[in-house]
C-alpha cells in the first residue's frame, strides 16, 4: 500500500512540509543538518555546535517495501518507515544522524542504516535504562562524548556559556508551548489538539528563533480569536502512547466529537512539559531534563503504579474525561505498560481505549468507529 | 489445542541423557528449601549465577520456565490468559507465559495444574532482572512486581558501546567499565539488603573458579564441532545449556561438562557424526522452537546438521584474573563487548553482548565461522515475539550472501506453538536444501 493510496492525505503533508522547511533552512544558513530520532540526545548541543537539529519524522502509511532489503517484517513499523525512506534517499538533505538508544528497534535502525547508507556524521547516543545514580553519571558522561563528536564534525566548539544561552532560548519556546497548552484547559479550548500537534511537528524543522516567532503568532491569534466551534460538553481526551508525529489520530478524535486537550507522547508534552534547569554546569540540567524527567516507558522507574502518578495529575489538571492510548506495532515499552496503566486509570475513574496501529492509521473507518463508540460512552 | 505436528527432540550424546537424573535432583533440593521458606529470587539470564551461588540464594529463571512450558505445550494456556489481561500477542512469549502463569497462581493460591514444575516457580521474595539482551526484560519484572508480587526488584543495566565507537579508547573503556562496576555494586548491595547476608568474596572466588572450569569445557566442546562429520547437534546443544543456569559453580557442573567434552572428543576421534551422510552443514540463528525441537531431527533425517548456533553461545569465553572476583565479573563482561566490536556488531543491540551467556557476536565473524566450521548454509528462525534475537537476521542474511552462503529465514516463535505452520515450514526447508544443492553447483543465491 502506498502513500498515494491513502485517504487521509494529511500524513503525507506533515512529513513533506517538514522536509521542505529544513531544506530551505539549510540553503539559507549553509549549516549542516543533523537528523535525530527520539528525545534523549539534546538538540541544544547540536545547535550549539553550529549545526541544525532536525527532528526526523515518519510518514504514516508510506510504502515500506524498500526496508525489506534490510529489515524483517516483524519490527516496529515506525522504524521500518524511517529506514524505507532513508533507503530511497528521502533524507538526502541530512549531513548527520543521531539516534539515541531509546529502544531496541531504533538502536538496530542506527546500525543497519549507517552500515548500508553511511552519512558524513553519525552518532548513537547511549542511554541507561535506570535512573540510578550511576545511570545518571553515565548519561552525563555520554553527553560529553556526544558534544566532542559534534565539535569534531562541525569544527565548532561548544562552550558552556554558548550552551547555556541555547538552553535558555529553547526554554523560551518550552514556556510558549506550555502557554498554548494552558489554552486547552479552558472548557472550550482556544486551540485544537490537532493544530497544536501540527505546530510542534513544524517546530522540529525550524530554527529555535523562527519557532518562537511561530509560537508567539499562534498564541496571539488563539487568544484574539473566538473559541473554535465546539461543543462545551464534548469529552476531553488525553492521548498517551507511542511516537505521535502526525495529527491524523487527533483529527479522527475531533471528528468523532472529542477534544484532545493534552497528551503524553513524544513530540508532544513529554518534551515540553518542563524547562531544562539552568544549572551552573549545563550538563547537569540536561541530564535532569533529558534523562531523569523524560517520561518514556523504556526507562525503568521501578515497579508499582506510582510510576503513572504524573499522568493522573495531568489528566486532572486538564479535566480529562477519557484516555486514548496509541500503540504502534511491536512497540514493546508501551505495550507492556498498557495493562497496568489501563487498570490504574480505571481505578481512578478514567476509561481508556487502546488503538493498535501499524503506523498507518488504517483502516481508518475501523479506528473512527472505535473512537466514536468510546467518545459516545464518555 | 492439538499439537500433533510437534515432536520431542532425540539427542545423540550419552552425557545429555544424564540430565534426566541430574536436573530433577537439583529441583528436588530446591523445592525442599522452598518449603522451608527460604527467600527465593526470580532471576533473568544476565544475572551472574555465580553471584547467586555465593549468596546461597534460592533462584528460579522464568525464562527457563517459559522454555519448559513451551516444550510441554502448555505455554498457550498461560499466554492466552495474559492476552485476556491486555498483553499484546506481539509481546515476548516468555513474558506473556509468565504473566498468565502468575495470574492463575494468584487467583488460586497454588501452581496451575498445567505447570511443568511441581509446585510451579514458587513465590518470589525478590526479582533480579537484567537489561542485557532486550528491552522487554525491563518491563517484565516491573509488571510482575506491579500486578502480582509486591516484592523488591533490581534490574542490572549493562551497557556496551555502539558498533561504531572504539572500545579500545581508554576514555571509552573507563566510561563503560565505571557503569559496569557501579551497577554490579548496586546489585550486590541489593541482594545483601534483602537476604541479610554479606557477600563472601572468597566463596565467590571459589565458585567463579568452578564456573570458569565448567564453561572452559563447554567452549572446548563447541570447538570440537568443527570436525566433519560434526559430533554433536542442536538437540544436545540446546539441552546442555540448562546446567549453565542452575549448576554453574558446582562441581557437578564441572563433571558434567568435562564428561560431555570427553564424549564429544571421542566421537571426533572415531569419526562418529550424528547422521549417516552429512550433506548440509548449517548454522542456526535465533531461539529454537522449544515446543518442536524434533524439527532438528527432521532436518537431520534429510542429511542437514547444525555445527554452530548463534544463541546461547559462550564460545567467546574469556580468561580473567579471578584474584579479584568482582573485577573478574566486570572484565569478562567488558571483554565480551570488546570482542563483539572487533567482529562488527552493527545489528546486535549493545545490550545483547555483555554477559556470560549468549548473543551472537558480530557480522564479520561470519566468514571465520563459515571457514572454521565448514558451513554451507544458514537457517534463521524469525521469532515473531522476540525481535531482540531475530531483528537483524535479514542483515545477517545479506552479509552471508556476500560470501556465497545461502540462508533461509522462516517465521514462528520460541514458546508459542500457535505460530508454527508445519507443512509450510517443512516445505520451505525442503526448498532451501534444494537451493543449497544448486548453490553448491554454482547456482545463484536468491532464496528469501
Residues in A touching B187 (Cβ below 8 Å): none
Phi and psi angles of residue B401, each rounded to the nearest 5 degrees, phi first? -60, -35
Residues A237 and A138 in one domain: no
Quote the DSSP letter at residue A31: P
Helices (H) and strands (E) in chain B, counts: 18, 8
Contact A107 B183 (CB under 8 A): no
Q: Is B170 on the interface with A (CB under 8 A)?
A: no
Same domain, A181 and A221: yes
CB contact, 8 Å: B90 with chain A? yes
Same domain, A83 and A177: no
Q: What angle do CA A282, A285, A287 make, to 5 degrees?
A: 110
Tell whether A356 lies on the interface with B, counting CB pairs under 8 A.
yes
DSSP label of A208:
H
Provide the pLDDT for residue A322. 98
Q: Are B48 and B61 in contact (CB under 8 A)?
A: no
Q: Is A327 in Cβ contact with B88 (below 8 Å)?
A: yes
Specify the pTM: 0.94
- Of A364-368, B27-31, B371-375, B388-392, minimum mean pLDDT range: B27-31
Q: Are residues A139 and A198 in the same domain?
A: no
Nearest to A107 among B147, B349, B394 (CB): B349
Domain total of chain A: 2
Residue in A40, A303, A347, A356 to test binding to B, most B beta-carbons within 10 Å: A303
- Put simply, whether A148 touches B (Cβ < 8 Å) is no
CB pairs under 8 A between A and B: 168
As beta bridge partners, residue B382 has B411
Nearest chain B CA: its distance from A302 CA (Å): 6
**Chain B neighbors of A326, CB-CB under 8 A:** none
Q: Which of A158, A189, A216 is the last residue of a domain?
A: A158
Q: Residue B155: left if φ>0, alpha if ψ -120 to 50, beta else—which one? A: beta
Q: Which pLDDT belongs to residue B221?
A: 95
Among the three residues A143, A158, A173, which one is the final residue of a domain in this structure?
A158
CB-nearest to A72 from B165, B175, B382 is B382
Q: Is residue B141 less than 8 Å (CB to CB) from chain A?
A: yes
- Binary contact (A126, B179; C-beta < 8 A): no
Q: Do A129 and A181 belong to one domain?
A: no
User: Do residues A248 and A8 lie in contact, with contact meaning Cβ atoms separated by under 8 Å?
Assistant: yes
CA B215/CA B209 separation, integer angstroms: 10
CA dihedral A259, A261, A264, A266 (to 10 degrees): 80
Distances (CA, A) of A359 to A38, A83, A199, A337, B391: 16, 14, 20, 19, 18
DSSP reduced 3-state for A181: helix
Which CATH number characterizes residue A141's domain? Answer: 3.40.50.11890
Interatomic CA distance for residues B349 and B163, integer angstroms = 9
φ, ψ for residue A235, nearest 5 deg: -55, 140
Interface of A with B in 255-294 (CB under 8 A): none
A 178-207: CB under 8 A from B: none
Q: What is the pLDDT of residue A361?
A: 94
Q: In this structure, are A122 and A207 located in the same domain? A: no
* Per-residue confidence (pLDDT) for residue B351, from 0 to 100: 46
In a shared domain, residues A191 and A337 = yes
Smallest Cα distance from B390 to chain A, Å? 8
Taking alpha carbons only, the member of A198, A327, A342, A305 closest to residue A260 is A198
Same domain, yes or no: A52 and A188: no
Q: Are residues A210 and A324 in the same domain?
A: yes
Of the pLDDT bands very low, low, confident and very high (cuts 50, 70, 90), residue B198 is very high
From the CA of B40, how many Å to the nearest CA of chain A? 18
- Beta carbons of B162 and A124 less than 8 Å apart: yes
pLDDT band (50, 70, 90) for residue B171: very high
Q: How far is Cα A13 from Cα A16, in angstroms, rounded to an integer?
A: 5
| A213 lies in the same domain as A270 | yes
Q: Supply angle C-alpha A312, A314, A316, rounded to 5.
A: 70
A209 and A345 inside one domain: yes
- pLDDT reported for residue B339: 79
Q: Which helix (H) or strand (E) holds B285?
A: strand B280-285
At residue B291, the pLDDT reads: 96
Residue B223 C-alpha, separation from nearest chain A C-alpha, in angstroms: 29
Chain A CB contacts of B139 below 8 Å: 297, 332-333, 336-337
Q: What's the confidence (pLDDT) of residue A122?
A: 97
Contacts of A329 in chain B (CB under 8 A): 90
Note whether A81 and A179 are same-domain residues: no
- Separation between Cα atoms, residue B393 and residue B398, nearest integer Å: 9
What domain range includes position A110? 3-158
Find the CB nearest A335 among B90, B186, B351: B90
Q: Binning pLDDT at 50, 70 and 90, where does residue B395 land?
A: confident
Of B86, B90, B145, the CB nearest to A342: B86
pLDDT in tens, B222-252: 999 999 999 999 999 999 988 887 888 889 9
Q: Closest partner residue to B186 among A111, A134, A330, by Cβ? A: A134
Q: Quick check: bond before B429 cis, omega within 30? A: no
- Would you call B387 and A103 a contact, using CB atoms and an 8 Å cutoff? no
Write the burial class of residue B67 (CB in 10 Å: 0-12 exposed, 13-18 middle, 19+ buried): buried
CB A285 within 8 Å of CB A277: yes
CB-CB neighbours of A96 under 10 Å: 23
Residue in the structure block whose three cell numbers are 533425517: B301
User: Domains plus CATH for chain B?
Assistant: 14-198 (3.40.50.11890)
Segment 352-411 of chain B within 8 Å of chain A by CB: 382, 384, 387-388, 390-395, 398, 409, 411
Domain CATH number, residue A189: 3.40.50.11900
Identify the residue whose cell numbers are 560470501: B403
The phi and psi torsions of B281 (rounded to 5 degrees) equal -110, 120
Question: Rounded to an integer, what distance in angstroms lies between the CA atom of residue B423 and that of residue B71?
Answer: 20
* ipTM of the shown complex: 0.94
**Domain end among A113, A143, A158:** A158
Pick from B134, B139, B348: CB nearest A337: B139
Ranges of residues in chain A with a pLDDT under 50 are: 1-11
Pick from A338, A304, A301: which is nearest to B91 by CA? Answer: A338
Amino acid at each position: 500500500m502506498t502513500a498515494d493510496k491513502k485517504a487521509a492525505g494529511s500524513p503525507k503533508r506533515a512529513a513533506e512540509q517538514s522536509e521542505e522547511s529544513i531544506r530551505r533552512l539549510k540553503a539559507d544558513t549553509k549549516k549542516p543538518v543533523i537528523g535525530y530520532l527520539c528525545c534523549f540526545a539534546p538538540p541544544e548541543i547540536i545547535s550549539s555546535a553550529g549545526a541544525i537539529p532536525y527532528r526526523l519524522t515518519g510518514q504514516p502509511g508510506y510504502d515500506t517495501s524498500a526496508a525489506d532489503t534490510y529489515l524483517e517484517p516483524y519490527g516496529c513499523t515506525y522504524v521500518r518507515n524511517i529506514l524505507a525512506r532513508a533507503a530511497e534517499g528521502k533524507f538526502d538533505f541530512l549531513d548527520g544522524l543521531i539516534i539515541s538508544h531509546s529502544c531496541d528497534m531504533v538502536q538496530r535502525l542506527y546500525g543497519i542504516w549507517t552500515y548500508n547508507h553511511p552519512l558524513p556524521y553519525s552518532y548513537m547516543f547511549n542511554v541507561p535504562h535506570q535512573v540510578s545514580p550511576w545511570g545518571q553519571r553515565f548519561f552525563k558522561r555520554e553527553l560529553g562524548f556526544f558534544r566532542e563528536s559534534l565539535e569534531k564534525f562541525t569544527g565548532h566548539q561548544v562552550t558552556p556559556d554558548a550552551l547555556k544561552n541555547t538552553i535558555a532560548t529553547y526554554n523560551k519556546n518550552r514556556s510558549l508551548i506550555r502557554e498554548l497548552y494552558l489554552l486547552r484547559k479552558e472548557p472550550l479550548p482556544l486551540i485544537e489538539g490537532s493544530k497544536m500537534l501540527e505546530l510542534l511537528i513544524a517546530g522540529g524543522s525550524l530554527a529555535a528563533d523562527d519557532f518562537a516567532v511561530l509560537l508567539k503568532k499562534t498564541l496571539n491569534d488563539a487568544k484574539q480569536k473566538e473559541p473554535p466551534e465546539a461543543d462545551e460538553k464534548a469529552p476531553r481526551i488525553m492521548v498517551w502512547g507511542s511516537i505521535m508525529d502526525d495529527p491524523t489520530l487527533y483529527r479522527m478524535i475531533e471528528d468523532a466529537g472529542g477534544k484532545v486537550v493534552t497528551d503524553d507522547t513524544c513530540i508532544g508534552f513529554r518534551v515540553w512539559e518542563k524547562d531544562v534547569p539552568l544549572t551552573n554546569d549545563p550538563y547537569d540540567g540536561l541530564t535532569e531534563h533529558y534523562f531523569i524527567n523524560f517520561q518514556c516507558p523504556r526507562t525503568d522507574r521501578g515497579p508499582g503504579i506510582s510510576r503513572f502518578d504524573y499522568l493522573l495529575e495531568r489528566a486532572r489538571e486538564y479535566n480529562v474525561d477519557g484516555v486514548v492510548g496509541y500503540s504502534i506495532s511491536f512497540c514493546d515499552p508501551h505495550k507492556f505498560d498498557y495493562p497496568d496503566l489501563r487498570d490504574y486509570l480505571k481505578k481512578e475513574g478514567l476509561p481508556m481505549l487502546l488503538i493498535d496501529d501499524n503506523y498507518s492509521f488504517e483502516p481508518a473507518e475501523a479506528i473512527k468507529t472505535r473512537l466514536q463508540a468510546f467518545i459516545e460512552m464518555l | 489445542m492439538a499439537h500433533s505436528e510437534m515432536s520431542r527432540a532425540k539427542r545423540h550424546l550419552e552425557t545429555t541423557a544424564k540430565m534426566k537424573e541430574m536436573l530433577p535432583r537439583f529441583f528436588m533440593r530446591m523445592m525442599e528449601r522452598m518449603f522451608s521458606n527460604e527467600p527465593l529470587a526470580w532471576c533473568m539470564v544476565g544475572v551472574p549465577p555465580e553471584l547467586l551461588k555465593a549468596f546461597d540464594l534460592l533462584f528460579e529463571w522464568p525464562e527457563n520456565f517459559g522454555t519448559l512450558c513451551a516444550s510441554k505445550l502448555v505455554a498457550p494456556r498461560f499466554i492466552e490468559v495474559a492476552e485476556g489481561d491486555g498483553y499484546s500477542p506481539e509481546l515476548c512469549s516468555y513474558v506473556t507465559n509468565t504473566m498468565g502463569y502468575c495470574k492463575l497462581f494468584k487467583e488460586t493460591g497454588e501452581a496451575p495444574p498445567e505447570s511443568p514444575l511441581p509446585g510451579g516457580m514458587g513465590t518470589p521474595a525478590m526479582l533480579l532482572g537484567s537489561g542485557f539482551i532486550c528491552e522487554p526484560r525491563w518491563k517484565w519484572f516491573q509488571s510482575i512486581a506491579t500486578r502480582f508480587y509486591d516484592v523488591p526488584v533490581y534490574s542490572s543495566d549493562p551497557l556496551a558501546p555502539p558498533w561504531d565507537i572504539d572500545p579500545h579508547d581508554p576514555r571509552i573503556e573507563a566510561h563503560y567499565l565505571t557503569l559496569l562496576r557501579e551497577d554490579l555494586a548496586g546489585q550486590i548491595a541489593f541482594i545483601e539488603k534483602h537476604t541479610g547476608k554479606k557477600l563472601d568474596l572468597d566463596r565467590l572466588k571459589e565458585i567463579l573458579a568452578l564456573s570458569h572450569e565448567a564453561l572452559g569445557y563447554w567452549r572446548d566442546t563447541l570447538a570440537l564441532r568443527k570436525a566433519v562429520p560434526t559430533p554433536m547437534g542442536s538437540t544436545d546443544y540446546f539441552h546442555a545449556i540448562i546446567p549453565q543456569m542452575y549448576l554453574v559453580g558446582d562441581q557437578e557442573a564441572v563433571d558434567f561438562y568435562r564428561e560431555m567434552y570427553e564424549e564429544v572428543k571421542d566421537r571426533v576421534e572415531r569419526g562418529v557424526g550424528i547422521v549417516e551422510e552429512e550433506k548440509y552443514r548449517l548454522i542456526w540463528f535465533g531461539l529454537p522452537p522449544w515446543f518442536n525441537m524434533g524439527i532438528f531431527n527432521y532436518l537431520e533425517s534429510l542429511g542437514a546438521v547444525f555445527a554452530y548456533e548463534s544463541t546461547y553461545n559462550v564460545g567467546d569465553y574469556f580468561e580473567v584474573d579471578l584474584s579479584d572476583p568482582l573485577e573478574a565479573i566486570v572484565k569478562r563482561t567488558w571483554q565480551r563487548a570488546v570482542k563483539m566490536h572487533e567482529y562488527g556488531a552493527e545489528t546486535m543491540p549493545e545490550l545483547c553482548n555483555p554477559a556470560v551467556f549468549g548473543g551472537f557476536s558480530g557480522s564479520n565473524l561470519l566468514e571465520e565461522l563459515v571457514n572454521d566450521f565448514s558451513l554451507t548454509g544458514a537457517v534463521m528462525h524469525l521469532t515473531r515475539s522476540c525481535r531482540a534475537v531475530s531483528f537483524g537476521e535479514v542483515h545477517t542474511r545479506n552479509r552471508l550472501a556476500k560470501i556465497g552462503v545461502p540462508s533461509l529465514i522462516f517465521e514462528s516463535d520460541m514458546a508459542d506453538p500457535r505460530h508454527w505452520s508445519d507443512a509450510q515450514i517443512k516445505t520451505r526447508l525442503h526448498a532451501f536444501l534444494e537451493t543449497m544443492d544448486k548453490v553448491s553447483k554454482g547456482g545463484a543465491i536468491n532464496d528469501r
